[in-house]
């Protein structure tokens, strides 16, 4: 592209056009230069990396401070936190309320850095809905986190998705397709696709690209309201490229899920995609979806 | 200098890899600054002939950037012949065992014979606990991981053999390091929980930590960056990324290459 632009500049008989193209080329080069490798950090010039999927540390909520510090060291400017409390699979409402309180504490302690997501067990029904509304209205949280308490196709989930649509906030939905077997209420990528079709106005972020990423990306390919996040232990070569090819870079967001920030960011930076696509994944898409 | 102690060559049967083969590995090494990789064949996971599975080692003999590691299945009847034949392979820098894929226990006599051989020749033994996340295995080919406990036991049994635990999770590496066995090394070749490297160095020092990529199944950068960006001193990073491996594998990079394998 650069070569082509230079060629046009040299061939142009209009000096003004040449100058404009020259400036544009230089601008593009400068834009691309903000993502780079090296010991001195990622060299992020203007981009604020945003972690779309991270949890308050289990049994140590105050560990948020260490995570914020480590995130800063890795050029991550904002973290979208939810708390799963004690990681009970089907927590009672009180446990979710406590967990959301931890997130609120972190939001107050690190304003501008910690973005909050509300966590509920959909089986808690009306009372759970009130908790979600409280988290958005009173706490200023920006999304809903659903884990493994109920399959996302379970009817108990619907009112929560509709409430999220009403607030215009995204739903971060855990999904995995495990050959070792899923938990009883654990959603698969196919479940997420079904949920997305039932709620076309909802914005859903499917966690972990569905774990089994080839299946996950393909399952939600046609659901334009589903994005995927890149977090978790799976760092397979070609995973990010596959998701970008199947879904488009505008439907992939970076997340850590509390795994090493440097490693999780490097998953995206080492992918064989363009710098513009990396920037979308690391920052632009989640900014757009959460209105950050 | 960066030494990768856990790299593979060959074809992976379950999905296409963008950077397989010597050229592919060299590309990944070049872009991430890896100076040397200790390489074993994927074929050894699946073939029933140790010599055929490790045939590629001959190709690596002349390459300065890649050190051959023989990945053996000690439960196969040809293992004795193969190991005796290895005496002629001067460039071999270690053995790799896959008890998970080959279905034996590290306490079995066959495994012990491999360790006896390693002890005699001063060769380190690399043991990946898994090759890929078990949740991603094809259903017809589920391979449970090798327990870290088995490595601790065998390292205790063979104190003169350096044993490397690869592709382990944070808790498994913690178990390996927690036993204070000077010959049991933890290789960071899997994405760990945030802060793992720094806390491992704080608790156990850096002398038993190394780095491996698991490439070409994984890109090297995510695990490499865990070390590069860890909250530890540059001297400690240097030990983890190269110094410890150079010592354990007795690699003298200033020497001319060991020459083609016979």
Q: From residue B119, how far is each of A239, A291, B81, B116 by CA, in Å?
A: 40, 61, 17, 5
Instruction: Tell which of B196, B229, B235, B237 to mutate to test the A interface (max A CBs under 10 Å).
Output: B229
Nearest chain A CA: its distance from B240 CA (Å): 15
Q: From residue A139, how far is each of A76, A87, A116, B105, B212 by CA, in Å?
A: 23, 22, 8, 54, 44
Residue of B136, B169, B221 with shortest CB distance to A266: B221
Check whether the bond before B216 is cis (ω within 30° of 0). Answer: yes
Helix (H, G, I), strand (E, B), or coil: what is residue B218?
Answer: strand
One digit per residue, the tens of pLDDT, for chain B of length 262 reads 999 999 999 999 999 999 988 999 999 999 999 999 999 999 999 999 999 999 877 777 677 889 999 999 999 999 988 888 876 666 789 999 999 999 999 999 999 999 999 999 999 999 999 999 999 999 999 999 999 999 999 999 999 999 999 999 999 999 999 999 999 999 999 988 999 999 999 999 999 999 999 999 999 999 999 999 999 999 999 999 999 999 999 887 654 444 443 3
pLDDT value at residue B9 = 93
In 3D, which of A180, A106, A176 has the Cα closest to residue A141?
A: A106
Q: What residues contact B171, with CB distance under 8 A and at least 6 apart?
A: none
What torsion do the CA atoms of A227, A229, A234, A238 make, to the nearest 10 degrees? 60
Q: CA B215, B218, B219 angle in degrees (round to 5)?
A: 85
The full DSSP string for A16-62 is HHHHHHHHHHHHHHHHHTTS--STT----SS--EEEEEEEPPTT-GG
The stretch A191-219 carries a mean pLDDT of 98
Strands (E), chain B: 3-9, 36-41, 66-72, 94-97, 125-128, 163-166, 184-188, 209-211
**Alpha carbon of residue A258 to chain centroid:** 13
Question: What ipTM score was computed for the predicted complex, to two decimals?
Answer: 0.93
Q: Is there a contact between B18 and A258 if contact means CB atoms under 8 Å apart?
A: no
Q: CA A61, A62, A66 angle in degrees (round to 5)?
A: 115
Q: Sort out which chain B residues have CB atoms less than 8 A from A70's CB and list them.
A: 194-195, 231
Of all residues in chain A, the one with the smallest CA distance to B19 is A237
Q: Distance between CA B25 and CA B8 in Å, rounded? A: 8
* Cβ neighbours around A186 below 10 Å, total: 21
Q: Does A210 touch chain B (CB under 8 A)?
A: no
Q: Is there a contact between B223 and A263 if contact means CB atoms under 8 Å apart?
A: yes
For chain A, residues classed under CATH 3.20.20.140 are 46-290
Burial A166-179 (b: 16+ CB within 10 A, else e): ebebbbbbbbbbbb
The helix, strand and coil proportions of chain A, stated in percent and rounded to the nearest 5, come to 50, 10, 40
Cβ(A254)–Cβ(A265) below 8 Å? yes
pLDDT value at residue A27 = 36
pLDDT value at residue A59 = 80
Nearest chain B CA: its distance from A223 CA (Å): 24
Segment holding A99, helix H or strand E? helix A93-109
Q: Which structure tokens are listed for B8? A: 């593979």
Q: Does A37 touch chain B (CB under 8 A)?
A: yes
State yes or no: pLDDT of A41 exceeds 60. Answer: no
Q: Is there a contact between A270 and B221 if contact means CB atoms under 8 Å apart?
A: yes
Segment holding A145, helix H or strand E? strand A144-146
Cβ(A207)–Cβ(A172) below 8 Å? yes
Q: Distance between CA B228 and CA A263 in Å, rounded? A: 10
Domain boundaries, chain B: 3-248
Q: Does A218 touch chain B (CB under 8 A)?
A: no
Of all residues in chain B, the one with the smallest CA distance to A71 is B194
Q: Does A36 touch chain B (CB under 8 A)?
A: no
Q: Is there a contact between A263 and B225 if contact means CB atoms under 8 Å apart?
A: yes
The stretch A93-103 carries a mean pLDDT of 97
Cβ(A80)–Cβ(A53) below 8 Å? yes
State yes or no: pLDDT of A42 exceeds 90. Answer: no
Instruction: Tell which of B29, B33, B194 to mutate to test the A interface (max A CBs under 10 Å).
Output: B194
Cβ(A70)–Cβ(B231) below 8 Å? yes
pLDDT value at residue B90 = 63
Q: CA B180, B183, B187 angle in degrees (round to 5)?
A: 85
Q: Radius of gyration (Cα) for chain A, nearest Å? A: 20
pLDDT value at residue A9 = 35
pLDDT tens string A226-251:
999 999 989 999 999 999 999 999 99
Q: How many CA atoms lie within 13 A of B30 on its CB side?
A: 7
Q: Is there a contact between A259 and B194 if contact means CB atoms under 8 Å apart?
A: yes
The stretch A36-58 carries a mean pLDDT of 70
Q: Domain A46-290 is of which CATH architecture?
A: Alpha-Beta Barrel (3.20)
Cβ(A249)–Cβ(A280) below 8 Å? yes
Q: Distance between CA A229 and CA A174 in Å, rounded? A: 10
pTM, two decimals, is 0.89
Q: Is there a contact between A236 and B32 if contact means CB atoms under 8 Å apart?
A: no
Q: Is there a contact between B190 and A238 if contact means CB atoms under 8 Å apart?
A: no
Q: Distance between CA A279 and CA A259 in Å, rounded? A: 20
Cβ(A237)–Cβ(A260) below 8 Å? no
CATH superfamily for B3-248 is Metal-dependent hydrolases (3.20.20.140)
Q: Distance between CA A191 and CA A197 in Å, rounded? A: 10
Q: From residue A176, how far is each of A57, A195, A270 by CA, in Å?
A: 21, 15, 24
Of all residues in chain B, the one with the smallest CA distance to A75 is B229
Q: Distance between CA A19 and CA A9 in Å, rounded? A: 8
Q: Does A43 touch chain B (CB under 8 A)?
A: no
A227: which strand partners? A205
């Amino acid at each position: 592209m650069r070569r082509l632009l230079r060629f046009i500049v040299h061939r142009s008989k209009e000096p003004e056009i040449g100058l404009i193209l020259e400036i544009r080329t230089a601008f593009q080069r400068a834009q691309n230069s903000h993502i780079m490798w090296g010991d001195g950090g990622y060299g992020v010039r203007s981009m604020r990396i945003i972690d779309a999927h991270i949890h308050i540390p289990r049994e140590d909520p105050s560990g948020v401070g260490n995570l914020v510090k480590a995130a800063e060291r890795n050029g991550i400017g904002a973290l979208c936190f939810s708390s799963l409390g004690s990681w009970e699979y089907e927590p009672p409402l009180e446990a979710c309320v406590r967990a959301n309180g931890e997130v609120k504490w972190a939001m107050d302690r690190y304003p501008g850095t910690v973005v909050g997501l509300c966590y509920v067990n959909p089986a808690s029904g009306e009372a759970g809905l009130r908790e979600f509304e409280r988290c958005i209205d009173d706490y200023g949280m920006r999304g809903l986190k659903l884990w493994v308490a109920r399959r996302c196709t379970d009817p108990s989930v619907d009112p929560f998705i509709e409430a999220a649509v009403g607030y215009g906030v995204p739903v971060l939905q855990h999904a995995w397709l495990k050959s070792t077997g899923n938990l009883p209420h654990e959603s698969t990528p196919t479940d997420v696709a079904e949920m997305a079709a039932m709620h076309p106005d909802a914005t859903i972020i499917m966690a972990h690209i569905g774990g089994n990423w080839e299946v996950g990306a393909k399952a939600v390919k046609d659901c334009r309201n589903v994005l995927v996040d890149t977090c978790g232990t799976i760092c397979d070569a070609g995973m990010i490229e596959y998701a970008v090819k199947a879904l488009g870079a505008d439907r992939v967001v970076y997340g850590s899920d509390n795994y090493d920030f440097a490693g999780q960011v490097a998953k995206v930076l080492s992918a064989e995609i363009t710098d513009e696509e990396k920037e979308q994944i690391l920052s632009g898409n989640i900014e757009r979806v959460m209105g950050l | 200098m960066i030494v990768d102690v856990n790299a593979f060559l060959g074809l992976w049967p379950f999905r296409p890899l963008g950077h397989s083969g010597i050229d592919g590995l060299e590309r990944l090494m070049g872009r991430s600054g890896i100076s040397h990789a200790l390489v074993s064949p994927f074929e050894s996971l699946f073939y029933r002939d140790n010599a055929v599975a490790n045939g590629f080692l001959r190709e690596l003999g002349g390459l300065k950037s890649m050190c051959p590691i023989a990945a053996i299945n000690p439960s196969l009847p040809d293992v004795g012949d193969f190991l005796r034949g290895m005496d002629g392979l001067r460039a071999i820098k270690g053995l790799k065992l896959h008890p998970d894929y080959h279905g034996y226990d590290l306490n079995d006599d066959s495994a012990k014979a491999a360790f006896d051989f390693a002890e005699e020749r001063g060769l380190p033994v690399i043991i990946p606990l898994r090759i890929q996340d078990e949740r991603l295995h094809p259903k017809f080919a589920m391979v449970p991981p090798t327990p870290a406990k088995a490595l601790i036991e065998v390292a205790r049994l063979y104190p003169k053999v350096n044993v490397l635990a690869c592709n382990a999770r944070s808790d498994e590496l913690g178990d390996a390091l927690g036993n204070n066995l000077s010959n049991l090394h933890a290789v960071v070749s899997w994405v760990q929980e945030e802060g793992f490297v720094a806390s491992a160095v704080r608790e156990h020092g850096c002398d038993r930590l190394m780095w491996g990529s698991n490439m070409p199944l994984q890109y090297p950068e995510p695990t490499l960056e865990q070390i590069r960006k860890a909250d530890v001193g540059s001297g400690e990073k240097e030990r983890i990324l190269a110094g410890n491996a150079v010592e354990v594998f007795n690699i003298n990079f200033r020497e001319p290459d060991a020459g083609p394998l016979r």
